[in-house]
Structure 1
Amino acid sequence: MFHPKPVHLLAGCLLFSPLVHADTVWMKNGDRLSGTIRSLSNGKLVMETSYGGTVSLNWSAVSTLSSDKPIDVSTGNTTIKAQLEAADAGYIIVRRGDDEQRVRADKLEEFMKPKEQTDAIDWTGNVDAGISLKKASTRTQDYNLAYNNKINVGKWRNDFGGTYNREKEDDTMNTDNYSLRYALDYTFREQYFWQGRATYKRDWVEDISSQILIGTGPGYQFWDNELGSFSLALLGGAFGYRYSDGSSDNHAGASVRWDYQRNLRGKELALFTHGEVGHSLDDDAIFSMDAEVGLRYQLTSWSSLNITYGHNLISGTRDTLNERNFTTGLGVKW
């Protein structure tokens, strides 16, 4: 059995506290870390500690480890639930009931802590802000703000947020709008949910001065784990548009909504995209698309640098709207 040396530096404080009910990682340099193992992917082991927050470790520097609870371990095209136990240097025991295998650590490529559905409130969110001020032959002011919140309680998921964009060049206002959204999901079966969604947009520059989209329908959660999430929803509802002269029109329609996020390099990077594509169900053939794709780089456990590209398109109305936005800024998450 492998007997690691005492912890050095920050991890040394663990020698003065019990290691019961905690995952433990032994490094090749003799250090020992205790906390909660979150995931292994792309050569990065992510661990949550009480003394250093979330840390990312090079898997090649890990000697062995043990997990307090079963972990989802990927083996080729299948995933098994197994207990990981410490062995001698460079090996890990993978235990499933009475069956155990002694596996080389470098043969394990991906595993993660399973998400448990509880009645406790799980609240996550972020605020991203970008400001650009330029003074040359013209004076330009560009402001972008976006906030996102997700509150999960048991089978219920609440997703709400908003955006604000403003761009002014000298005395000319090129962009001035905001949006609000809210979605409520109920998981009625594993991976299947029913969604109700409402979106409101207000614009003081474009001919389409406001938009209201309301829809409800089934959805499917392809995955939701430590490495990311992906879901699709098919919604039926109505589109409403108001124009700058006060006129308006309404249409019944259907839309497809997607939400995708993938964590990379031990959660150091996150690739995300979300949006909605809709079409009216009448002869006017209204087509709408509101989508974003971006990359978020973690600066600290609570701050990030983000780059986002957004495209808002509406055709079939009396005036076509075709907006493209490229933003970069700093963010805060919780």
Structure 2
Amino acid sequence: MLILGIETSCDDTSVAVLKTEDERLEVLSNIVSSQIKQHAPYGGIVPLLAAREHEKNLPVVLDEALRATRYTIRDIDLIAVTSGPGLIMSLVRGVNFAKELAEKNNKPLIGINHMEGHIYSNWLPESSKALQLYSSIAFPALCLIVSGGHTELVLMHDHGKYALVGRTVDDASGEAFDKIARLIGLEYPGGPAISHEAEKFDATRYTLHVTLPRPMLHSKDFNFSFSGLKTSVLYLVRDLKVPLENVRTEIAHEAQKAIVDVLISKTMKAAKKFQPKSILLAGGVSANKRLRSRLAEEVSRLTPKTYYLEPALQYTTDNAAMIACAAYFKAKNSKLQDLSFESVEPDANWEIV
């Protein structure tokens, strides 16, 4: 089966072609057109600008994704498109493009939940290596999804069967990174900027000896909160008695540590209760080096019999390959002819469960 994936939930325009054969998956192409340069001057994503860029980029990215393979649109068996959650104007551009493509070429179309796509990034092979689809991921699997707009703990009982364990009650972890980066004068996007700045930190040269709060760290549930952390940094910077440039690295280090501490604590607390056979990491923030290394360490230390998996770095951010992968599992037991493009509609608030 050849699956064409389309992703436009936020500010990345992506089209991918996946091939499945004998229970194996191969990423034939995965083209991503980033809008970081367009949005950087504003310090965040401008929805109308993102939608316009998608409209301009989609035909170009589609052509590039197909040219990277030996196939044409006529060879595609299934088209998959992110239909939520996300920025509604961005979703509309992607869904409309996919529907027109499906109708024009008489292809079945399936809508995919963006969060579900992130989960399935763990099934994608690195580089061009084919991967046994079922690999060694055993169910139930506990997945920590961390991105600019979402922070969720999801218990995956089987393919397509989810239970929401915990979520942020305010800001997402990626949003906290962006806001804190802006407060301490770092560039957008904030996650990579803070991570890079934190790497410069020298523990022998403290200036502030600051300790930022870990919101809801000891709450009995599995929910998250990051707005208080952002506010603490705001007051810290406002009341500084030394130049910000002298302590920027120290604040970045402590802010990253605080966010990662909460994410890991909640994940391992949930793992203790639900006893999953696998723990998965997913979403744009999953590219964070400290989060990846610390979570791997804690899983190995506290639940050594649990299988731990994190996506290849190229699949941590928004991409169409993960959407196509999710579509494979969603459609493999369905009749493709029953998948109508008319039933796919954008939903900015589509919940995974």
Smaller-chain TM-score range?
Answer: under 0.3
More strand by percentage: 1
TM value normalised by structure 2: 0.23
Larger radius of gyration: 1
More helix by percentage: 2
Higher relative contact order (CA 8 A, sep 6+): 2
TM value normalised by structure 1: 0.24
